[in-house]
Amino acid sequence: MFRSIARVVVPVGMVSVYVLASLANAQVSPSLPNPTTAPNPLTTTIFIFRSNMQDKIMKSAEAMPESKYSYRPTKDVRSFAEILTHVADISYTLCSNAKGEAPPATASGKGSKTEIIAYLKGAFDYCDGVYSGFTDAHLNDPADFFGVKTNKMFILTQVANHDALHYGNLVTYLRLNGLLPSGGWF
């Protein structure tokens, strides 16, 4: 089953990086590096996309009032707080995997808005450290994705992909609570 998933996800990830590189080439913001002129265009592209998603997630976490952190549209889905904690958990898991080490020990207290935001920021900062050590030459280094043999590029694209997936959830939760997401086209 994992091999079937990997056969679909790896090509989708590769196409995503190509598309993202094309979008990034349009120079989304003057404050972002232009990956086409970077020494490592692929890792720069992945970094830009990931940073953008993480910025939107942090803004969403800050925008939702603490009283709504327990909000869930139905009993069968995660609460707003649980989504944020899940994003941080997976960021630690995937980035430590790409780094080739066990996930770092993290604080157990993740109940309040302040604690959850701190945990999320810690996960994003940890991933920043992992990404900063990569060059395009490292992207094809072997990696393990929950038992599936793959490469580091797959792992690093999954971090950004996972962030984007759950940012979509957060946008819905914000809108259902009368709040506007940080938005932007990219």
Residue 95 within any structural domain of the chain: yes
Residue 184 within any structural domain of the chain: no
Residue 183 within any structural domain of the chain: no
List alpha helices for 36-112, DSSP H. 41-63, 80-99
Q: Residue 137: its pLDDT value, please?
A: 95
Please give the helix or strand (H or E) that residue 145 lies within, else none. Answer: strand 142-145
The residue segments making up the domain with residue 104 are 2-176
Residue 38 within any structural domain of the chain: yes
Residue 186 within any structural domain of the chain: no
Domains held by the chain: number:
1
Rounded average pLDDT per 10-residue block, the chain, 186 residues: 53 47 46 80 91 94 97 96 95 92 75 94 94 91 91 94 96 95 66
Residue 181 within any structural domain of the chain: no
Q: What is the pTM of this model?
A: 0.81
Q: Residue 23: its pLDDT value, please?
A: 43
Residue 111 within any structural domain of the chain: yes
Residue 185 within any structural domain of the chain: no
Tell me the CATH number at 71.
1.20.120.450
Nearest-5° Cα angle at 15, 181 to 99: 80
